[in-house]
Amino acid sequence: MYRNDGIRELERQECLRLLAKAPVGRIVHTRHALPAVLPVNFGLDGDGAVLLRTSAASELARAVDGAVVAFEADEVDPLAHSGWSVVVTGPAAVVTDPGEHRRLVRGGPRSWAPSPREVFVRIEPELVTGRELVGGFSMYGLDAFF
Amino acid sequence: MYRNDGIRELERQECLRLLAKAPVGRIVHTRHALPAVLPVNFGLDGDGAVLLRTSAASELARAVDGAVVAFEADEVDPLAHSGWSVVVTGPAAVVTDPGEHRRLVRGGPRSWAPSPREVFVRIEPELVTGRELVGGFSMYGLDAFF
């Protein structure tokens, strides 16, 4: 159902389906007590968990291990003023189980900037939310609204 | 200068030039003690401040007014494994000065989902950072690295 501002809230399954087709997302966490955000490529596990692959020595791995983070992906059409955005919020942890690590080496996401020793970070999909903006407003000319 | 992982840190002026051509960005803040992230269209003020326009009654305006936030924009080529990302970090505040508000009504960003009573949010560009990922690695076939 669309609210009168053209925004529709998305169901969890709809969110995960959209996430699965996004090539990159952004991980949001806290760094030196400030909000931090970094684009990363990713994979989705069967249960909807977000999987990242990064250097074991990276600041990202240290910063998010054990923290609650948000992971966002979106697709926006700036001409049509339409698009969607999905956010997965949950605790992140470096995968330490050797069997799990081997499984992810085979089927998990690839690094765009590979490094000699890599780890996987798993973000539990505790909260999966999303919204769609439908660009009907632009048909009437935005300026008329101001 | 490129580091050996293909990432180059960007200068402030380079960051602002890239930001100016991005149609949307993402505002990162804290909501109910959890990280929150929302895509928004925006404008850039002369001094590099990020300008948002939103409903006066919006949760976003309430959540970020007086808080330190991060604002991120990026452009990523998933095939070439290249792209850039810029983050502006600083205090956000709803513009309350009437003259300043009038100036922004004329020259500030437009809303994609207009509402009857709108406010501008200004994010001070205290920290402007950015990075570029150069996709040279993909030339060699990523799988060879694992």
∠ at Cα B20 (A142, B86), nearest 5°? 120
The dotted CATH code for A7-136 is: 2.30.110.10
Other beta carbons within 10 Å of A3: 10
pLDDT of residue B141: 32
pLDDT digits (tens, 9 = 90+) for A10-49: 999 999 999 999 999 999 998 888 899 999 999 999 999 9
Mean pLDDT for B89-98 is: 97
Give the C-alpha separation, A127 to A124, whole Å.
Answer: 8
Query: Residue B83: which of B75, B91, B95 has the closest Cα?
Result: B75
Mean pLDDT for A75-79 is: 90
Domain extents for chain A? 7-136
- How far apart are the CA of B105 and the nearest CA of chain A, in angstroms? 8
Residue A127, helix vs strand vs coil: strand
Token duo for residue B49: 């401040």
Using only the alpha carbons of chain A, give its radius of gyration: 17
Sign of the Cα torsion B56, B57, B60, B62 reads: positive
Cβ(B78)–Cβ(A23) below 8 Å: yes
Give the C-alpha separation, B117 to B126, whole Å.
Answer: 29
Number of DSSP helices (H) and strands (E) in chain B, helices first: 3, 9
Binned at pLDDT 50, 70 and 90, residue B146 comes out as very low
Q: Identify the residue among B42, B112, B124, B143 best suited for mutation to test binding to A, counting A beta carbons within 10 A and taking the highest.
A: B112
DSSP string over A27-64: EEEEETTEEEEEEEE-EE-TTS-EEEEEETT-HHHHHH
- Hey, which residues does B128 pair with through a beta bridge? B88
**What are A's interface residues with B at a Cβ cutoff of 8 A?**
5-7, 23-24, 26, 28-30, 34-39, 41, 55, 68-70, 72, 74, 76, 78, 81, 83, 85, 87, 89, 105, 110-115, 127, 133, 135, 137-138, 142-143, 145-146
Is B19's pLDDT higher than 60? yes
pLDDT digits (tens, 9 = 90+) for B51-77: 999 999 888 999 999 999 999 999 999
By CA distance, what is A105's nearest residue in B? B146
Is A137's pLDDT higher than 50? no
Binned at pLDDT 50, 70 and 90, residue A6 comes out as confident
Query: Which chain A residues are within 8 Å of B74, Cβ to Cβ?
Result: 24, 26, 39
Class of the B7-133 domain? mainly beta
pLDDT digits (tens, 9 = 90+) for B94-116: 999 999 999 999 989 988 877 88
By CA distance, what is A39's nearest residue in B? B85
Mean pLDDT for A85-111 is: 95
According to DSSP, the β-strands at A24-31 and A68-77 are: antiparallel
Q: End-to-end alpha-carbon separation of chain A, Å?
A: 26
Give the C-alpha separation, A55 to A46, whole Å.
Answer: 23
pLDDT of residue A146: 23
Residue A104 vs residues A46, A108, B80, B105, B138: alpha-carbon distances, Å: 12, 4, 23, 51, 20
Binned at pLDDT 50, 70 and 90, residue A64 comes out as very high
Contact B113 A146 (CB under 8 A): no
Give the C-alpha separation, B146 to A92, whole Å.
Answer: 23
Contact B35 A133 (CB under 8 A): no
DSSP 8-class letter at B26: E
Give the C-alpha separation, B56 to B70, whole Å.
Answer: 20
